[in-house]
Structure 1
Amino acid sequence: MAVNEYFQVDGLGINNRNESDLILLINDTLNWVTDDEKQHLEHLQNKINAYVEYIRSKQYKHVYPDDEFNEFTIDIHMNSYPTELAIKFFDMVNGDLEKENIKVIVAIDESSQEEPTSCG
């Protein structure tokens, strides 16, 4: 699945350190250096919005009917380091979703050869 496939959850699982936390995976294979930054951000925004709706509508109950979750983590796996604008976007998203106990985290593929973006 890809970041531009908005209505498909790339992965779903229970946090093994906190069973009240449902983790939703986004597999972002786009590259911040070679791909269009604006379009990349739009894809991420649309995918995150779809995941938030998935959480709000409790669609996860189809997979975990007997589990109750009060925390949600959207875990974005990337192949390249995000730009400064992307980092600001993630900060804004986390601020907006905090009241709903939803957080967005980013993991970078360790084999990435690029240098990290400065967050100055």
Structure 2
Amino acid sequence: MSISETNVVDFIGVDPAKKIARLAISDHLAWDDPEEEKEHLWLLQEKINSYLRFIEGGELYQNYPDATGASCEIELVSKYPLSVAGVRFFEQARSIVQAAGFDLLYRVFTPQ
């Protein structure tokens, strides 16, 4: 599962003690090719929209009952740092996701 599969939730973790449900997007694509950047941004937009539908449509709570009443976070876990356009997109997307009552986080994956 990855960003390329826009209709699939890549990873879900629920911490019932902290009341947090985190849904992660796995992004293995580089941001250094300007010609591929538009496609990358489109994939990310579609993936975030799928996650919002999954949460708002109740599928999260049907499949993960412990998530009921938890705050939801969507986390983009990227292999590469975001480009300038990627950062702009992320900031706009974060505002939209937060307006829906959830949070959008970002980090670059660093192997241990």
* Structure 2 letter corresponding to 1:23: R
**Where do 5+ consecutive residues of structure 2 fail to align?**
none
Deviations 1:46-95 (A, max 9, x none): 00000001011010123222542352111111111101111111111111
Distance 2:16 2:70 in 1: 15
Equivalent pair of 2:10/2:23 in contact (CA under 8 Å): yes
Task: Give the equivalent residue in structure 1 for 2:24.
Answer: 25
State the 4+ residue runs in structure 1 displaced beyond 2 angstroms. Answer: 15-18
Task: Give the equivalent residue in structure 2 for 1:6.
Answer: 6
Task: Give the equivalent residue in structure 2 for 1:117.
Answer: none
* Structure 2 letter corresponding to 1:51: Y
**Where do 5+ consecutive residues of structure 1 fail to align?**
112-120
Equivalent pair of 2:60/2:67 in contact (CA under 8 Å): no
Task: Give the equivalent residue in structure 2 for 1:83.
Answer: 83
Show the 5 A alignment for 1:81-120: 81-110=81-110
Task: Give the equivalent residue in structure 1 for 2:42.
Answer: 42
Distance 1:84 1:76 in 2: 16
Identity value in percent? 25
